[in-house]
Structure 1
Amino acid sequence: MNRQIAAPEATLPRGIKDFLPDKAAKIEYLQQSLKNVFHRWAFRPIVPPTLEYLEVLERGLGAGLRDKTFRFDDRQNGKLVAFSPDITPQVARIVATRMKGAPLPLRLCYNGKVLRHTEQQAGKDREIIQAGVELIGLQGPEADAEMIAMAIECLQSLGAAEFTVDIGQVEFFHGVMDGLDLPYPQALAVQQAIARKDSSGLAELLSGLSLDDGKYTEIMALPRLFGGREVLDRAADIVVNDRSRRALENLRQILRVLETYGVEEHVTFDLGELRGLGYHTGVTFQGFLSGMGSAVCSGGRYDTLTAHYGMPAPATGFAFNLLNLLTALDRDLERTVVQCHDVLILQGGPDKQAAQRLARALRTQGYACARDIIERPLQDSLDYGRKMHFSHVMVVDGQAGEVRSIRLADGSEQTISLQAVLAGEFRL
């Protein structure tokens, strides 16, 4: 007596997912669409490894990413190895060590998976699919604007109707905070209040400090400096330190380039955005789709990263989180990404050579087709073909030398010569 073994309740670790054909087709579509944009902007593909030595990888990771790194012993040599939590540091290592003599700038793109430790909460992905670009060797606002314009073009190519790219500048924040010598716990609390846009909480944290009126005004403005281009003017009226004012001029120059590209309508500014403090050295940006709280892409300038691997070079880039992108566009992709196949081929009787020759010929002609090897009633094969997104079913009569072609969308059919189909004289 055969007993079926019940599947365990949890077949995968928390935060890890299987993607069945329909979802996998959408992910593949997203990857290919982004890859097409990367190619149009003259970026070349690179494939980083799955594993890195931990001591090498950590050179390019900020404290936040170090804490999220999966690590374990390599049984071959006893060293610690790790799955990278982000592809950008891997690209920085490759450029600095393997491509050191290559002419700059380098325009590199990638698709890949990363793993990150996360808190144990529902819906938090630990396996992330990234697609992104890195521009190594260029300084200046035009290079930063190129990244933002590319990200916008990517979203447009995917048919995203409503989206914004939110731009920040870590140098603006550093200029405001210069000279504010706070213990780490207090400095962290101030940063968190600014990130939450919590003006009352921020005021309470600052109340016990000896700040002059100008510095107090600058800090208290940070949670409120977000919105359209008018934010840059509001900030210029408030800040007096040179570092923040240089950051504002950098953003104005970037905006002028984006206006030339014709994408400025999608841009907003958030000068209290602190996401890139431990990693970036200038402009940062995140892409958001309407109705989606999490960013679908993020990027910015990171001029010190390749130096950790022995080759100082200015750099900027961005990466899409394809799982967030899939969540945001899932319903829209339902209409545009249907992985259709062309022909399901049937033949009754013991001799199936005619059907096999037909399958080979159709594939040579560029059609996607499969043999329905199971012996079953025609109606069952038609039902199967519809469920598997075939457009046609062809029933082969080897003795008569004929093919009955049935269009599954409306049930219309026609009978044609097998020889004509084999010779490529019939088109679906």
Structure 2
Amino acid sequence: MNKIPPGLLPEGLRDRLPPEAEAAARLLRTVMDSVASHGYERVSPPLAEFEEGLVGQLKSDGAQDLLRIIDPVSRRTLALRPDITAQVGRIASTRMAARARPLRLAYGGEILRLRATQLRPERQLLQAGAELIGADSVAAASEILSMAVDTLAEAGVADITVDLTLPDLVPTLADGPFPLAADLIEPVRAELDEKDAGAIAALGADAYLPLIHAAGPVDRALERMRAIDAGGALETRLDGIEAIAAALGDRATIMLDPTERHGFEYQSWLGFSFFGADIAGEIGRGGSYTICPPDGDEEPAMGFSLYLDPLVDAGLGNKDMRRLFLPLGTDTELTKRLRGEGWRTVAALNPDDAAEALGCTHRLDGNEPKQI
């Protein structure tokens, strides 16, 4: 086997160097401070768990994203987390099961996925977010979405767009005004997601065709959705979307695609994703879902996750740092005062050290900094 060259990392993993490493840490702190100001308490789940437990927490096809290892202590299979949301659900339903609801929890940390995607070649990602456990009402959705939009704005994201979707729309209609055989529900959902009108007609689901044309800006989309004669089955849901849009106001552009399903397989009545100006791809997502406790009934929840790497790649989180070169023998009390004023000091360790070579922006001139 050929020797691995020094510095070579596995595909999808990378080092964050200055100044990006500091930008990532600063963005994470911004998110954590923002959600904390809304009363969300931070939890910190472990990087790895027993595979059996983690698979039980993950829904949809999340188990396929697991990177597995053998624990030499327990001799059981462990899995590295591909998502933190499921772990927060475990904490809420076990260690914090006795806490009053709604329970507000926040998190931030690294995740590792087995495979990358075409849009995001990285497998290691920095994820942060918040979960509202015990409620999935319109009020809960308005709180979560408002907090997410405000947090992204504080992180420097401009021209925020929120894409809303209704993940369980087809099953809801299939059980009521637009009946479908059980074996047709998934095919119809898939073709609606693809916006394939011909395939939907071929499935005998013509009643669902108007849903394709309802996507667009939320006001227009709601108008078209209300024109669909669904016997009142959609009224409450559409009223909820209208109330959520009103709560967000002009802080974001709001779109509605009622049949978008990819990536929202485990969401219940509401799903959403976030986009920003000059940032490639999706920067976060969330929605309503249920937590399955070890014993007892499912518990409703609402939350969002932000992925901070696209923000770092777009140059957000950077801050101009004043690095002050201190010659040999600089007074200790003076150094302490300068650091208290916000300077980052770089002390010479020998007479040959140079301010420019050490990346300093200023040097000490007497007792005062002077720009280089």
Q: Same fold (TM over 0.5)?
A: yes
Partner of 2:351: 375
Provide the C-alpha distance between the structure 2 equivalents of 1:100 and 1:175, rounded to a whole number of angstroms: 30
- Following TM superposition, by how much is the alpha carbon of 1:135 offset from its aligned partner in structure 2, in angstroms? 0.7
Partner of 1:223: 212
Provide the C-alpha distance between the structure 2 equivalents of 1:52 and 1:27, rounded to a whole number of angstroms: 25
Partner of 2:153: 156
- Following TM superposition, by how much is the alpha carbon of 1:295 offset from its aligned partner in structure 2, in angstroms? 1.1
CA contact (8 A) 2:81 2:111 kept: yes
TM-aligned CA distance change 1:75 to 1:172, over 3 Å: same
Write the letter of the residue equivalent to 2:356.
D
Provide the C-alpha distance between the structure 1 equivalents of 2:336 and 2:269, rounded to a whole number of angstroms: 56
TM-aligned CA distance change 1:119 to 1:41, over 3 Å: closer
Q: How does 1:37-116 map to 2 (within 5 A)?
A: 37-116=34-113
Partner of 1:204: 199
TM-aligned CA distance change 1:203 to 1:292, over 3 Å: farther
- Following TM superposition, by how much is the alpha carbon of 1:119 offset from its aligned partner in structure 2, in angstroms? 5.2
- Following TM superposition, by how much is the alpha carbon of 1:248 offset from its aligned partner in structure 2, in angstroms? 2.0
CA contact (8 A) 1:174 1:244 kept: no
1:313 counterpart = 2:299? yes
Partner of 1:339: 321
Partner of 1:237: 227
- Following TM superposition, by how much is the alpha carbon of 1:116 offset from its aligned partner in structure 2, in angstroms? 1.0
CA contact (8 A) 1:175 1:241 kept: no
- Following TM superposition, by how much is the alpha carbon of 1:132 offset from its aligned partner in structure 2, in angstroms? 0.2
Structure 1 runs not aligned, ≥5 long: 1-5, 396-402, 412-428
Question: TM-score by structure 1 length?
Answer: 0.77
Provide the C-alpha distance between the structure 1 equivalents of 2:231 and 2:54, rounded to a whole number of angstroms: 36
Provide the C-alpha distance between the structure 1 equivalents of 2:111 and 2:317, rounded to a whole number of angstroms: 24
Partner of 1:400: none
- SS of equivalent residue, structure 1 residue 67: helix
Provide the C-alpha distance between the structure 1 equivalents of 2:295 and 2:265, rounded to a whole number of angstroms: 17
CA contact (8 A) 2:93 2:291 kept: no
CA contact (8 A) 2:42 2:106 kept: yes
TM-aligned CA distance change 1:156 to 1:119, over 3 Å: closer
1:266 counterpart = 2:253? yes
Structure with bigger helix share is 1
Provide the C-alpha distance between the structure 2 equivalents of 1:321 and 1:370, rounded to a whole number of angstroms: 33
- Following TM superposition, by how much is the alpha carbon of 1:361 offset from its aligned partner in structure 2, in angstroms? 5.9
CA contact (8 A) 1:109 1:132 kept: yes
1:392 to 351, 362, 370: 362
Flag the structure with more relative contact order, 1 or 2, with Cα contacts below 8 A and sequence separation at least 6: 2
- Following TM superposition, by how much is the alpha carbon of 1:356 offset from its aligned partner in structure 2, in angstroms? 5.5
Q: After superposition, what is the alpha-carbon deviation per residue over 1:60-86, rounded to whole angstroms, capped at 9, x for unaligned? A: 212311111111221212211111111
Question: TM-score by structure 2 length?
Answer: 0.87
Partner of 1:326: 312
- Following TM superposition, by how much is the alpha carbon of 1:266 offset from its aligned partner in structure 2, in angstroms? 2.4
Aligned residues: 366
- SS of equivalent residue, structure 2 residue 65: coil
Structure 2 runs not aligned, ≥5 long: none
Provide the C-alpha distance between the structure 1 equivalents of 2:280 and 2:190, rounded to a whole number of angstroms: 18
Q: After superposition, what is the alpha-carbon deviation per residue over 1:379-419, rounded to whole angstroms, capped at 9, x for unaligned? A: x713125xx2x443227xxxxxxx464512xx5xxxxxxxx
Partner of 2:193: 195
Q: After superposition, what is the alpha-carbon deviation per residue over 1:92-133, rounded to whole angstroms, capped at 9, x for unaligned? A: 111111011112221111111111111586952211110100
Provide the C-alpha distance between the structure 1 equivalents of 2:182 and 2:168, rounded to a whole number of angstroms: 18
Partner of 1:399: none
